[in-house]
Amino acid sequence: DAGVIQSPRHEVTEMGQEVTLRCKPISGHDYLFWYRQTMMRGLELLIYFNNNVPIDDSGMPEDRFSAKMPNASFSTLKIQPSEPRDSAVYFCASSLNPSYEQYFGPGTRLTVT
């Protein structure tokens, strides 16, 4: 398996633009997680899904953020409109069991100017 795949790897956009981050989890993993990492706030869980259903979205910063998982092999995290404070590395991870080993994708480095 290729592991968790994320795209794009880098994204630079202007404030106010819509940003869509994509993730393909490892086949067979029922759980998918979206994280945001910054120096100031560390690694924060934004939302996670079980069998395509959102379980905990309390980490989503505000209504500008939305996440979907239309099927078992694809998820998106959308920011609309984007703001400079959204600049961070966004990781997607998947697992068979949320308590146990999560496999992280390479991350998307987002810069909002």
Partner 1 sequence: GQSLEQPSEVTAVEGAIVQINCTYQTSGFYGLSWYQQHDGGAPTFLSYNALDGLEETGRFSSFLSRSDSYGYLLLQELQMKDSASYFCAVRGGRDDKIIFGKGTRLHILP
**Which stretches of the chain bind partner 1, using CB under 8 A?**
33, 35, 42-45, 48, 55-56, 58, 91, 93, 98-107
β-bridge mates for residue 31, sequence order: 50, 95
Q: Which is nearer to partner 1, 54 or 81 (CB)?
A: 54
**Nearest distance in Å: CB 43, partner 1:** 4
Beta strand 74-79 with 65-71 is: antiparallel
Residues 6+ apart with CB under 8 A from 103: 3, 4, 26, 29, 93, 94, 95
Q: Which is nearer to partner 1, 48 or 65 (CB)?
A: 48
**Nearest distance in Å: CB 86, partner 1:** 19
Whole-number Å distance between alpha carbons of 34 and 37:
10
Q: Which is nearer to partner 1, 28 or 42 (CB)?
A: 42
**Nearest distance in Å: CB 76, partner 1:** 19
